[in-house]
Structure 1
Amino acid sequence: MFFEESFNKCNFDLLETYIPKDFEFYHDINGTQNREQFFTAFKESICSNTERKPIRKVVEESLEVFPLKNNGEVYGALQKGIHFFYIKESNKELYLTNIAKFTSLWNLENGSWKLSRVLSYDHKEPNKKYGLKFEANYPLPLFNTDSKIASLLEQHKIPSVAIGYIEEGVLKQLRSFGSQKQGMPVSVHSIYKVASLTKPIVALVTLKLIENGDLQLDAPVSKYYKDPDVKNHLYLNKLTTRHILSQQSGFPNWRYLNESNKLTFEFEPGTKFQYSGEGFEYLRKVIEHKLKKPFEQIASEVLFTPLGMNNTYFYWTPEINENDYAIEHDENGEPILFKKYYETNAAANLMTTAADYAKFLIHIMNGGGLSDNLYSEFLKPQVNEKNGIDRNLGMQLLSKLPNNEIALMHTGGDYGTKTIAIAFPNSKKGLVIFSNSENGMVLWQKIISEYFGETGLEIVRRNLE
């Protein structure tokens, strides 16, 4: 509100009220200014030319505020975020000229807020910003105007959506819309439960262990672990890591879905496709028994820490701020009483941000840290899931797409949360969509087609068949 009134509307009375005598302004290109210098520059460069007026817009989801306290009493606040700088000319629409980060120090003096220090830095021209790694801090509008996303959320009773878009192997956009829960806007730092998007993470960790010689792709996993329910089964010694990663384990999705509540083989491993969470849980136990370490520790060592996935968790830990969690909602937009999990599940319950999962997709598109031979094996179709969709070692594989594309894809869905991740290894494009809503899937077609056009529509068509 302050910058809209002062910068965009040239309200000098507001500046006089909120900027104190000891004000200091730091700019990474134009140097420093005191209060007098700042006011002079402001009047001459910002407000004197009405034919070509600079306009400053805040990226709302980038805003963060941190209270400053002394002995429990608030004396100030730090505010940080991202600004877009536009030029408004007569009879023309706004056009983007610059993007920058800012940090502001506000002091509370005798009950009044004063803007004491401002840092404006990391200025970039929009046509240059894409050459940098993880440029998600500079989001662009979706569907021409962001208001269309807000309208879709309201129409379908979807509390929020977080979107990460990858182009040229770089995270180009990171956007969030809506609310984590009532009264709390979602942000680019919001953590979602992503359900079965856990599985591709576990698959790549497993492939890294195979690369390191800690595991074998085609050796029987019974050497390291035998579930008591199947320890004497005819098929046990035929089950391999390849079968599990490609969803050919022969196991049901979950043992509790059987009348006996026991794990069993429903067909010989490697003979056909059947989606199974039990298979991935079996693999986790194999790995833990083989390496004598918890799986979450292994994943952190070989994947999360190297990639800087600092907001990704298999279960609730003290490091998670509950205020960052996007609570699940039902089909009527009502919050669901969510359960906190305190044990790793290799098939579900991963909690992460769109930014962290985008880092993972980029890593996969760049070879996943695997040898050429193993990466080629990862990309190969292992079994057909349905018309137009195969399974590779951990994800869905869609071949023969328009524009010579192949897509690696996986979805995640529990009651109240719907997620999807898509990567194009050839063109180095990708997309992450998280929603804390049972209705979240209705956004997918719109968003996927917006980013990928004909290719996106073909992906949607194959999934709907």
Structure 2
Amino acid sequence: MHRIASIAAVALMIGAPAQARTPSPPSIARVVAAAMTETGAKGLAIATIERGKVSSVQAFVARNAAGEPLTPDTVLYGASLTKAVFGYLTVQLAAEGRLSLDRPIATLLPQPLPSYGNLPAYGNWGDLTDDERWRLITPRMTLNHSTGFANFAFLNPDRKLRIRFEPGSRYGYSGEGIMLLQFGLEKGAGLDTEAELQRRFFRPLGMTRTSLRWQSHFAGNVADGWDEQGKAQPHDERSRVRAAGSMDTSIGDFARVAAAMVRGEGLPVRWRREFARGTLPITTRQQFPTLLPDAQLAERPNASAAMGVVAFSGPQGAGWYKGGHDDITANTLVCLEEGRRCVLIMANDVRAERAFPALVRHVLGETGVHYRWEYPGLRNY
């Protein structure tokens, strides 16, 4: 792979794609090669969706330090892409009358939330004994990240679960909130999150390499990852189902569910709009503002929180997206309502994240996604 000056330069050399036309797989492959050279990333997979159907799936270079190939069937960590699928599931349940998006989760539970104590599989509910605001939190608030919880309880100065602002009043990304909704559905409504996702989505779509709990048959073709320093790290075999982000999947598998979501499979039209309709304006300068003072807030008029995804308005109209990230993982899914077009990128090297804006632009054209909000350190996108 030859050294190339910049991803943007390669996209220009190839020819920037028209906004309503997806470039060919070879064109995408050349821009991906430039991205991997520029960032140093060792593994990356990319899929495109046209008119709600998967149109291409490609995987590049390595799944581990031994140099074994990354393929469309390689199991990757889905990270917070899990939240998008869980949000879609929740909207399906609402469409079926199984729950109300705007009725407090407390009404699902037979006991007061703090009485369940601190449960490692879900959350430290006992920490909320002296704060009655837990009674206000609804499924919508968990999915649009307005519960008032930090992303993780341990980020608080006392490492306890705290409600940092009035539930529903503003955005503050929180995996803890997603886990509260999972707890309400499982302990209150008697649902099994993994079983529901398998029954409704994964099995019908032929997603044999996707689960929110580690499966032994994944081991034959699984991706390890690389961190910011380029150090290889092993794949984490997650044993707990966590709707906030425990999903393992392949690029081939997740492209199928992304296509189903953008075409509204399994949802009446009204409820499909509800999934992608932004109901909470995002007024923060970055994605994780919960512990920042209010002075850090800033208007973001074209982005708002929807059901597990972020809705935006851009040059091509309405769209929605969701990212996923940990020390060795970088994922993004961007979908445009016009033409039901999406690009899905999953990388087992966190350094690839710096190339996401250029890669998405090459595939979809200008979208309007607020990359500096999601990645505050990003430059020159």
TM-score normalised per structure 1? 0.65
1:464 and 1:158 map into 2 onto residues whose CA distance is 17
2:265 and 2:51 map into 1 onto residues whose CA distance is 16
Secondary structure of residue in 2 paired with 1:228: helix
1:206 to 62, 80, 90: 90
1:442 and 1:336 map into 2 onto residues whose CA distance is 19
What is residue 152 of structure 2 aligned with on the other side?
254
Secondary structure of residue in 2 paired with 1:390: strand
1:348 and 1:335 map into 2 onto residues whose CA distance is 21
Kindly provide the CA deviation profile for residues 19-54 of structure 1, in whole angstroms up to 9, marking residues without a partner as x.
xxxxxxxxxxxxxxxxxxxxxxxxxxxxxxxxxxxx
What is residue 220 of structure 1 aligned with on the other side?
104
C-alpha displacement of 1:293:
4.0
Matched, 1:356 2:253: yes
Kindly provide the CA deviation profile for residues 227-249 of structure 1, in whole angstroms up to 9, marking residues without a partner as x.
32224522122111111111111
1:335 and 1:278 map into 2 onto residues whose CA distance is 28
Kindly provide the CA deviation profile for residues 272-297 of structure 1, in whole angstroms up to 9, marking residues without a partner as x.
11100000011111110133343211
**Aligned AA for 2:90?**
T
Does the Cα contact within 8 Å between 1:204 and 1:368 map onto a contact in 2?
A: no
Kindly provide the CA deviation profile for residues 191-240 of structure 1, in whole angstroms up to 9, marking residues without a partner as x.
11021111001111111111222211111111234132224522122111
Distance 1:194 1:360, change over 3 A: same
1:209 and 1:455 map into 2 onto residues whose CA distance is 30
1:168 and 1:409 map into 2 onto residues whose CA distance is 17
Distance 1:402 1:155, change over 3 A: closer
2:306 to 392, 403, 412: 392
1:380 and 1:438 map into 2 onto residues whose CA distance is 30
C-alpha displacement of 1:151:
4.5
Does the Cα contact within 8 Å between 2:51 and 2:263 map onto a contact in 1?
A: no
C-alpha displacement of 1:370:
1.7
What is residue 179 of structure 1 aligned with on the other side?
62
Matched, 1:311 2:209: yes
1:349 and 1:440 map into 2 onto residues whose CA distance is 21
Q: CA RMSD in A?
A: 2.1
Secondary structure of residue in 2 paired with 1:397: strand
1:261 and 1:378 map into 2 onto residues whose CA distance is 33
**Aligned AA for 1:193?**
Y
1:257 and 1:430 map into 2 onto residues whose CA distance is 34
**Aligned AA for 2:227?**
D
**Aligned AA for 2:260?**
H
**Aligned AA for 1:287?**
L
What is residue 363 of structure 2 aligned with on the other side?
451
C-alpha displacement of 1:169:
1.6
Kindly provide the CA deviation profile for residues 360-384 of structure 1, in whole angstroms up to 9, marking residues without a partner as x.
2211222242223322222322112
1:346 to 234, 243, 259: 243
Secondary structure of residue in 2 paired with 1:195: coil
TM-score normalised per structure 2? 0.79
C-alpha displacement of 1:152:
3.3
Higher RCO structure, 1 or 2 (CA under 8 Å, sep 6+): 2
What is residue 138 of structure 2 aligned with on the other side?
240
What is residue 221 of structure 2 aligned with on the other side?
324
Kindly provide the CA deviation profile for residues 139-158 of structure 1, in whole angstroms up to 9, marking residues without a partner as x.
82134xx4553343244221
1:264 and 1:216 map into 2 onto residues whose CA distance is 25
Secondary structure of residue in 2 paired with 1:180: coil
Determine what percentage of the aligned residue pairs are the same residue.
25
1:292 and 1:464 map into 2 onto residues whose CA distance is 37
What is residue 45 of structure 2 aligned with on the other side?
162
- Unaligned segments of structure 1, at least 5 residues: 1-138
What is residue 230 of structure 1 aligned with on the other side?
128
1:434 to 346, 358, 361: 346
What is residue 280 of structure 1 aligned with on the other side?
178
**Aligned AA for 1:390?**
S
Does the Cα contact within 8 Å between 1:157 and 1:331 map onto a contact in 2?
A: no
Matches within 5 A, 1:88-107: none
1:393 and 1:247 map into 2 onto residues whose CA distance is 9
1:336 and 1:234 map into 2 onto residues whose CA distance is 42
Distance 1:274 1:173, change over 3 A: same
- Unaligned segments of structure 2, at least 5 residues: 1-23, 114-124, 284-299, 377-381
What is residue 262 of structure 2 aligned with on the other side?
365
Name the structure with the higher strand share. 1
Does the Cα contact within 8 Å between 1:330 and 1:415 map onto a contact in 2?
A: yes
What is residue 49 of structure 1 aligned with on the other side?
none
C-alpha displacement of 1:187:
0.6
Matches within 5 A, 1:135-146: 140-143=25-28, 146=29
Does the Cα contact within 8 Å between 1:191 and 1:325 map onto a contact in 2?
A: yes
**Aligned AA for 1:289?**
K
Distance 1:154 1:334, change over 3 A: farther
Distance 1:317 1:266, change over 3 A: same
Q: Which stretch of structure 1 is more off in the superposition, 191-200 or 359-368? A: 359-368
Distance 1:240 1:461, change over 3 A: closer
Kindly provide the CA deviation profile for residues 71-99 of structure 1, in whole angstroms up to 9, marking residues without a partner as x.
xxxxxxxxxxxxxxxxxxxxxxxxxxxxx
2:245 and 2:56 map into 1 onto residues whose CA distance is 26
1:374 to 242, 267, 271: 271
Does the Cα contact within 8 Å between 1:382 and 1:390 map onto a contact in 2?
A: yes
**Aligned AA for 2:328?**
G
Kindly provide the CA deviation profile for residues 317-374 of structure 1, in whole angstroms up to 9, marking residues without a partner as x.
2232x23111111223321144321011111131111122221221122224222332
Does the Cα contact within 8 Å between 1:164 and 1:431 map onto a contact in 2?
A: yes
Does the Cα contact within 8 Å between 1:150 and 1:178 map onto a contact in 2?
A: no
Secondary structure of residue in 1 paired with 2:35: helix
Say which one has the larger Rg. 1
**Aligned AA for 2:63?**
Q
Secondary structure of residue in 2 paired with 1:439: helix
C-alpha displacement of 1:264:
1.8
